[in-house]
Structure formats: C-alpha cells, structure tokens
Copies of this chain bind each other. A is one copy, B any other.
Amino acid sequence: MPDINALLWPRHVALIGASPDLDSLRGRITHTLVSHPFAGQITPVTRSHAEVMGRTAYPSIAALPEPPQLAVLIVPAQYIPQELERCALAGVKAAVVLSSGFAEAPGDSGASLQREIAAIARRYDLAVIGPNAEGFANTAAALCPTFSPALEAGARPLLPGGPERGQVTVLAQSGGIGFSFFDHGRAKELAFRYVVTTGNEACLETMDIAEFVLAEGKTQALILLLEDIKNPATLRRVAEQALRAGVPIITAKIGRSEAGVRAAASHTAALAGAYDAYRAMFERYGLIEGFDIDEMIDLAGAFLACRGRLPAGKRVAICTASGGGGGWMADTCAAAGLEVPVLDADTRARLDLHLPAYGTSQNPVDATAQAVHKIGYAGLARLVIDSPTIDGLILVVTARSAKNLARQRADLEALVATAAKPILMWSYTLPAASSITLVRDMGYALITDIRNCARAFAAMADYRTLRERFLKPIEVRPSMPAERAAATAALAGGEPVLCEWEARPLLAAYGINSLAGTLATSADAAVAAAAAIGGPVALKVQSPDIVHKTEAGAVLINVASPSAVRSGYGKIVAAATDRLPSARIRGVLVQPMAAPGQEVILGIKRDATFGPMLLVGLGGVNVEVLSDVVLSPLPLAADAARGLLSRLKGARLFAAHRGRPPRDVEALVDVIERLARLAADFAAEIAEIDLNPVIVHAQGEGVSIVDALVVRRGVGAPAPASFT
C-alpha cells in the first residue's frame, strides 16, 4: 500500500527542479515551499545552483545525505520517469509530479510516459500524485508543495485564528479550481485542513486521499471536484465511510454537458461516465451537488457550523428586521423546497410582547429594526427557536459593520452553545472582513448569497434524513438460493439476447411475473390459445434476432376474432421473416390485452463507470416525449425504490386523480426491488434488461409486464445496439 502519510506528513521534502527564479513556476513553488513555517526539512535539488533561497542544493536526489519521505518533481515530462525511479532507489516514499505533457497531450508519447510513472509507482510502492497536478497544502504542517498563487505565504495565515473550528478538506484533479476553493473559503474564514490536487491521477486518485482523510478523522466536511472516477467501488466505499462518520461530501461534477465532457477528456484524459449515473450515485449516497465555488464553500460552512444539530425537517423560521429581506428569504426558502409555516400561537404571543405594532410575529418574523435594537438578534432568535412548528432558523442580519454584532457577542455565543436546532445567518449587506471573522468565531455560518443560505438549510435537512436512513440496518432482502439457482439455470443457454418468452424463466426466478401468455408455433395453436383467453388478444413474434418487434410489423394488438388471429399469425411471422430472413422464430406469443393503467418503463442499463443501474421512467406517449426517467445504482431496497419513484417529475400521476383511484405503487416497488436484486446478483451475466411497458393498475390490482427483453454479457455474438 502506498504510504499517503509519507505524502501529506513528510519530515523531509526534496524539490527536484528547484530554482531561485521567481518568474518561473519552479521558482514560485520553491518560494512557496520555503516561505511557510514548515517544521521539517526542505532540500532543493538542481544541477544549476549550489544554493537556492538560502538552502543548500544538491545535484541529484542520490546526493542527499538523508533520504526525504517526499519528492516534489517539476522537471520536463520526458525526465520524470528516470527521476522518479532515482527517488525510489534513494528511499523516497511519496512524490508529487507537477510537470505537464502526459496523457492530457495528444499522441501517445505523453500517455506512454504516464504509464511509465504508474509502473514505477507500483514497482516501488510509491504514493504518487500527478502528473499534471498543482500539488497540495497541509495547513496544520504549514507544508505547501504547490505553485498555486493562493498558497503563497502572505497577508492571511493558512488557518484562521480564534477558537478551534471544524475543518474542510478539498480534493480535486484540477489545480486551478482546487485551490480556488481555498481562496474563496479562506476569505470566509473557513479552516482548511488539506487541499490536494491530483491532476491526471496516474497513481493515486482523489478517492484514495479521501479514504486517508476520513480515516484520520480530523476533517468535518469534504469538498470534492470530480472529473472522472476510475474506480467506482472506491467512490462507494468513500461515500459510505463519510456517511457513517457524518462528514458531508460537497461535490461538483465536471462533464455534465457534451462540451464539458470534451473539456475533461482533453484536460486530464478523463473518460467521464454518464452524468445521469453520477447523479444517481450522489442521490443514493447523500453527496451534495454544488454548482459554484462560493455555493460549495457556503454549504461547507453551514455544515461545519451546524454539525450535531442538522435540521430534522424542512420547516424554517425567518427572523428579520428588514421586511423586504424577510419576504425575499421566504420566497427563496420556498423555491429551495423549504416550508415557512406560520408560527404556533404560544411562540407568537411571546414574540408579540416585544414587537411594535408595525412588526409581525407570523413568519417571517418581521421584528423591525426597533425591536432588534432592543432585544438583539439572539433575543429574537431565542423567542422562536424552540417553537415546535420549526426545524431551524434563518436570521436575516446586516453584518456590514462588526460593531453591532460585537456588542451582542456574549448573547449570540450563549444562544449557539445551547440551541438544539441550526441557525444560519444571511447578511443582505456586504459584511466587513471583521464581521466575517467575528460571526465565524462565535460559531455561526454567515452567508451573503440568499439562495445559498436557503439551499444550505435544505441540503442539511436532506442529508440528515438520508444519513439516518443509511445508519439503520440495511433492508436489502438477500436472494434465496432457490432464486439464484433458477436464474442460473435460465441463463444456461448461449444466446446473447433473450426475447420475451425466453426471458420469462429468468424473471420468474426472482418472482417477476410477466403477463400470462402462450407461445403458439402454428396458426391453429394461436387460435386455440386466443379462444382459451376469451377476449381480444395481442400477437407478438418471438425471436432473439428481432429486438424491435413493433417496427418490424411483428406485433398485432386487440385481435378479436378467430379468423383475425389466424390471418394475423401468418402476417406477423411473414413480416418478421421479411425484415430478417435469417431470424430464428420461436413462435408467436398470444396474450390477453392488459388492463389500462399508468405506463412505466423499467430496466437495467450499464453505465461505463458505475456498471448496472436501474432505470424507471414514465411511459405513455405524452410523458415519453418529456423523457421523465431516473436512475439508481444497485442494490435497491424497497424503501429506496419508493424514493426513486418520488423523484420522477410526473410522480403525481401515481396518485388518485378526478375520481380515478391511486396506482398500485407498492406492486411496482416490489418488481423494482426484485429486478434490482436479479441484476445485482448476475451483474457479470446480464448487460441490459428492458421491461417496457409495465402497466401499473389501480391500488391492489398489481402491475402487468407487457414486454421484456434481456441482453447478456460475455455470451456469443456482440449484443445488438442498446434498445432504450
């Protein structure tokens, strides 16, 4: 195992490519490295100078009297492999490769150099970040092997002074953006523990660093900029570890659009998985998605300030001296999915004693400037915070000058020390730097963007709910040996595609029952089967070679008379053979017409990064055109399936409407749970499953699976093109 401790906590660091020239990147990193009060040793390595910035330089790593734990390399790409090997031979345990010109460059020479780096790291068990990285910062050690201007020793110390506070760690492939979180967050008085940028990730990935950081237990919030995930299992592991520890992961994904994917590919040679699949992972594991640097910093700041008392629900009280500010915040909270309920009568009566006639205690509580002047922000909040109608509070303040807040310091500190519910502050005026420090020292989060404030409250409530569900014993039903055995048997054949009739035993193995039906291999048999059904029927050619039956004219519905069944049989078999003369026809499936209900599409598809994902979408022509589809990783317990369905934009279509009873959602949840379990158990054997349509009938009347198709993995010929 590469030693990440040697990377982040070395006692001795060698800088290979050190330079005194402050106009060069080499000089800038040398200067940044030596100008922070790092307690360990820093040794420049360069052939051009005997001394760099007051430190003795050595011509090569081998020449050092003592081997350093960490080597920082900033020499041209083509020299990196040999230098890295020299480091390993000299006893170095970890390296940061800052040079560019590897897999992100066109042609194979850079990629080949990068493969060499990976091989050397493996061979010598080195902890390597890069190449094409911007380095890292460990603020507690005052160690900053990076040329990021944000980490130049300067006006602002690496860590805020004042009371000890929760710490945030930033992990990013992109150096520019990674360090900009520090830049923005430090101005908001956030305490950063590490900022680590990993570049092309030839060896260590952000996820490896995340595991180290979580195990260390000194980080209370993670900011994660994702370009790609090389190993989805690590993401799952990290996400679960973080959830258990209650460390929120605030993440932004680059590559949400076609142009973004294009950029990521050229920039760090990332092959981004589908954004839909990432979103499904985020929803499942409670990763909080951010879309702007300040938004993510504000989210992290809110979580740090409110840890231990995240909101139990989404009901928020707003206390304000500015009527306009309170109204605006109320609208913004509603848009973020929060409730702003009228407060209970007791709370209002207590408030009304303090408010002038032109204030209001309803919610937003517009106390007016006069009352706030008298009882202070804390006095106002204390009157409201224990109301049973709310889960937390947003204080609308003006932090323009610190004077007013400083006067209320003791009172505000006492409030936050005892409040069982979270309190966020939104300042509509631009806060002075001294206000930001003061508010953070008092233990509050101060947010200036109104949307970020409401979003932070909502995200904290969502996170708490999801985490509490996660910490409960897992409800995923284990598959029975009999289920596995039956499915294994159903998969024994060598066909790459199973048509509906062939898919039935596989689905049935896990208790997923298709609509009744008979496979007829002659027109006579079809007529007999239809007679047995006794109403209009559907006729469908069954062939593993014809995936798009309807388009091939190989399906007839609402066939009512025996003569129509007879002629229909011949017609659709002819149409199928016409479409593909070599098609192997298994027969014609004769089925009753399904009762009406809400059409749903249900399936398993494979994401390039995350593997099998369950897909649910709303069918029916209107909703199909609107592409209302959601994904989930596997496995998927019934509870999670219910949550998944509620994420559909048209989820209301399942509810009762104008006298129509509600749909049988529980029956659908049952099928989803079984399908997800089947796909998870046989992830190596099954590529895709398509149940389309599934008709969800009225409550208590179940679902009808009207058509099915299974595409297998690693069997016979390549599967036909994706059918969803």
Contact = CB atoms under 8 A, between A and B. Distances in A.
Contacts of A650: 622, 625-626
Contacts of A266: 323, 360, 362, 366
Nearest to A188: B430
B430 A225 contact: no
B176 A428 contact: yes
28 contacts: A100-B368, A106-B358, A150-B400, A174-B327, A176-B321, A176-B322, A178-B324, A180-B398, A183-B400, A225-B324, A227-B327, A252-B328, A254-B324, A255-B327, A256-B334, A257-B335, A258-B334, A259-B340, A263-B326, A263-B327, A263-B360, A266-B360, A266-B366, A267-B323, A267-B324, A291-B335, A293-B428, A625-B657
Nearest to A323: B267
Interface in A1-39: 25
A349 interface: no
Given A323-B174, A429-B180, A623-B622, A358 B294 contact: no
Which of A263, A268, A625 is the most central at the interface, judged by chain B CB atoms within 10 Å of its CB?
A263
Contacts of A360: 263, 266-267
Nearest to A77: B358
A325 interface: yes
Given A105-B357, A259-B334, A262-B362, 12 more contacts: A25-B369, A104-B358, A105-B356, A176-B428, A180-B398, A180-B430, A183-B430, A259-B331, A262-B342, A264-B323, A292-B450, A626-B652
A291 B451 contact: yes
Interface in A72-118: 100-102, 104-107, 110
B322 A622 contact: no
Interface in A436-467: 448-451
A118 to B, nearest CB: 18
Which of A100, A356, A653 is the most central at the interface, judged by chain B CB atoms within 10 Å of its CB?
A100
B364 A263 contact: yes
Interface residues of A, number: 95
A184 interface: yes
A599 B450 CA distance: 40
Given A357-B110, A368-B100, A653-B625, A257 B326 contact: no
Contact of A653 (B260, B449, B622): B622
Nearest to A401: B149
B267 A326 contact: yes
A676 interface: no
A620 B650 CA distance: 13
Which of A110, A175, A177, A328 is the most central at the interface, judged by chain B CB atoms within 10 Å of its CB?
A328
Nearest to A275: B331
A321 B134 CA distance: 13
A176 B327 contact: no
A172 B267 CA distance: 46
A318 to B, nearest CB: 8
Contact of A264 (B105, B327, B342): B327
Contacts of A323: 104, 174, 176, 263-264, 266-268
Contacts of A187: 430
B292 A449 contact: yes
Contacts of A139: none
A704 interface: no
Interface string A303-333: 0000000000000001001111111101111
Contacts of A25: 369
Interface of A: 25, 100-102, 104-107, 110, 132, 149-150, 172-180, 183-184, 187, 225, 227, 252-260, 262-264, 266-268, 291-295, 318, 321-328, 330-335, 340, 342, 356-358, 360, 362-364, 366, 368-369, 398, 400-401, 428-430, 448-451, 618, 620-623, 625-626, 649-650, 652-653, 657
Contacts of A400: 149-150, 183
Given A259-B340, A293-B450, A450-B293, A110 B358 contact: yes
Given A331-B259, A366-B267, A430-B184, A172 B451 contact: no
A293 B449 CA distance: 7
Contact of A100 (B105, B180, B358): B358
B259 A332 contact: no
B450 A331 contact: no
Contacts of A331: 253-257, 259-260
Contact of A267 (B149, B327, B451): B327
A132 B323 CA distance: 11
Contacts of A183: 400, 429-430
A53 to B, nearest CB: 20
Contact of A149 (B342, B398, B451): B398
Given A252-B328, A327-B263, A357-B107, A291 B450 contact: yes
Given A293-B428, A360-B266, A174 B334 contact: no
B428 A180 contact: yes
A195 to B, nearest CB: 13
Contacts of A626: 649-650, 652-653
Q: Which 9 residue pairs across A and B have the least CB separation, nearest first?
A: A174-B324, A267-B323, A176-B322, A257-B334, A263-B327, A259-B340, A260-B331, A259-B330, A105-B358
Nearest to A186: B430
Contact of A330 (B174, B263, B332, B362): B263
A260 B328 contact: yes
Nearest to A598: B622
A292 B427 CA distance: 12
Contacts of A333: 257, 259
Contacts of A369: 25
A294 to B, nearest CB: 6
Contact of A259 (B174, B364, B623): B364
